[in-house]
Homo-oligomer: A and B are copies of this chain.
Amino acid sequence: VLSPLRRRIVGTTMRAGELSRSDLARRLSLSRSSVSPEISDLLAMGVLVADRHSPSTGGRRGALIAPAGPGVAVLAGVDIDADRVSVALTALDGTVLASDTLEMDAAADPAIALRGAAEMIERDLAPAAGPLQALGISIAADVDPVTGRPVSAPTMPRWADWPVCDFFAERFGVRAFIDNDVNVLALAEAAHPHTGPGLGPSFIVMKISRGLGCGIVVDGKVFRGSAGFAGDLGHICADQHDRTLCACGNRGCLEVLAGEPAILTEADALADEGRSPILAALREQHDGVLTLDLVGAASAAGDAAVGSLLRDVGKHIGFVLAGVVSFFNPSAVLVSSGLGGGEDILLNGIRELVYQRALPFSTRGLQVMRSHFHRDGGAVSAAVLAAEGWLGMAGTVAERRALVSRTSRSSVVTDGTGP
């Protein structure tokens, strides 16, 4: 286990990608002489490396410190969505060592889904060069901050109270960390060395899948709301004229208009009615089942009917996000979906409504853009959660109270730091 100072050194280096010893000391508000011995030890342990040299700045050229690549600490990420389970193994520097996806009705059977995820990790770990240090889980459900277990989600009711963390912690003998998928995305975006700082201190990351939710970053930290349920966008009213009943009992919910099932139902209708021959052909090539990937591909191929569908979906989302932008004044709205090449037109629909409805003051400087973690990136973002948890960076982004871990021997262990 790393000492608190060593954790801070590794975590800060991870966030920065690479940096000089002086920069590192400055970011930690410590003297160079107090961090130097610790850095030397971490270099000797192989957790950090000092390969590249910084460009000359008129003074001495110092080696740049960076987190170790493959071979030292391996982190596992598991992403659990209603219709698939994905895993990824990464190095501390973010290099993806392996990744795997199992398309299945995960909502229906937690036990089979977890076993599938564990087997994928074991298969991928075998050729991995280093020891597994920690595991992070991203799940499309809210997580009870006390028990660390999923609470009942409309899209994944069978996962309620399932001991997901315990399962992985016991199977692999490492600490496991769990959080709601959009909070994990927000954490990973904030920690992303190349983009986190550029996003500004307060932004949101929205995910489009069966449900529609967002992770919220306030001053660099994930904000979960007073009871842990912030970021629910799916049940905000997006259309007072719409009469479709939502699972929540209301009408006009964004989820009914812009969730994955709504998009696929509309897309199937376009294919059925001959309005999108491209989509009909793609569907036939894929066993008659459309996915967001295929819808995005049809849009990217120039299909006007599909483009119009995605623009309309974007406008529904944009109507709700206009309210969020007025209320929250974020510097960026990042969108993660499985639409691939279709995401651009969706983003334009979102932008259209946000710029139409929110006041110029709130949108000056606002970026509406793709998340770095698209649908296949969920497991990679969960590996970031594992790294942040392992490094004890809980106080900076992943907050302790949502991180409940269990080792193979003891019962529930919570990180002893703050707040």
Contact residues of A with B, CB < 8 Å? 142, 151, 200-203, 214, 216, 218-219, 223-233, 235-237, 239-241, 248, 250, 319-320, 322-324, 326-331, 356-359, 361-362, 364-365, 419
Q: Which residues of B contact A237 (CB under 8 A)?
A: 319, 322-323, 357
What are 22 A-B pairs at a CB distance below 8 A? Answer: A151-B361, A200-B226, A202-B223, A202-B225, A214-B327, A216-B327, A216-B328, A218-B223, A226-B330, A227-B331, A227-B361, A227-B364, A227-B365, A231-B329, A232-B326, A232-B359, A235-B358, A236-B322, A236-B327, A237-B319, A237-B357, A240-B240
Q: Which residues of B contact A320 (CB under 8 A)?
A: 323
Q: Which residues of B contact A214 (CB under 8 A)?
A: 327
Q: How far is the CA of A201 from the CA of B227 in the complex (A)?
A: 10
Q: Are B326 and A235 in contact (CB under 8 A)?
A: yes
Q: Are B250 and A356 in contact (CB under 8 A)?
A: yes
Q: Which residues of B contact A330 (CB under 8 A)?
A: 225-226
Q: How far is the CA of A227 from the CA of B358 in the complex (A)?
A: 14
Q: Are B327 and A230 in contact (CB under 8 A)?
A: yes
Q: Are A235 and B364 in contact (CB under 8 A)?
A: no
Q: Which residues of B contact A248 (CB under 8 A)?
A: 359
Q: How far is the CA of A320 from the CA of B230 in the complex (A)?
A: 16
Q: Are A329 and B226 in contact (CB under 8 A)?
A: yes
Closest to A142 in B: B361
Q: Are A328 and B240 in contact (CB under 8 A)?
A: no
Q: How far is the CA of A231 from the CA of B359 in the complex (A)?
A: 12
Q: How far is the CA of A92 from the CA of B214 in the complex (A)?
A: 42
Q: Are B323 and A236 in contact (CB under 8 A)?
A: yes
Q: How far is the CA of A226 from the CA of B331 in the complex (A)?
A: 5
Q: Which residues of B contact A358 (CB under 8 A)?
A: 232, 235
- State how many angstroms separate the Cβ of A20 from the closest Cβ of chain B: 23
Q: How far is the CA of A48 from the CA of B418 in the complex (A)?
A: 31
Q: How far is the CA of A395 from the CA of B139 in the complex (A)?
A: 35
Q: Which residues of B contact A356 (CB under 8 A)?
A: 250
New A-B contacts (16) at CB < 8 Å, excluding given A226-B331, A227-B361, A237-B323: A216-B327, A218-B219, A219-B419, A225-B328, A226-B330, A227-B331, A227-B364, A231-B327, A233-B327, A235-B357, A236-B323, A236-B327, A237-B322, A239-B240, A323-B324, A327-B328
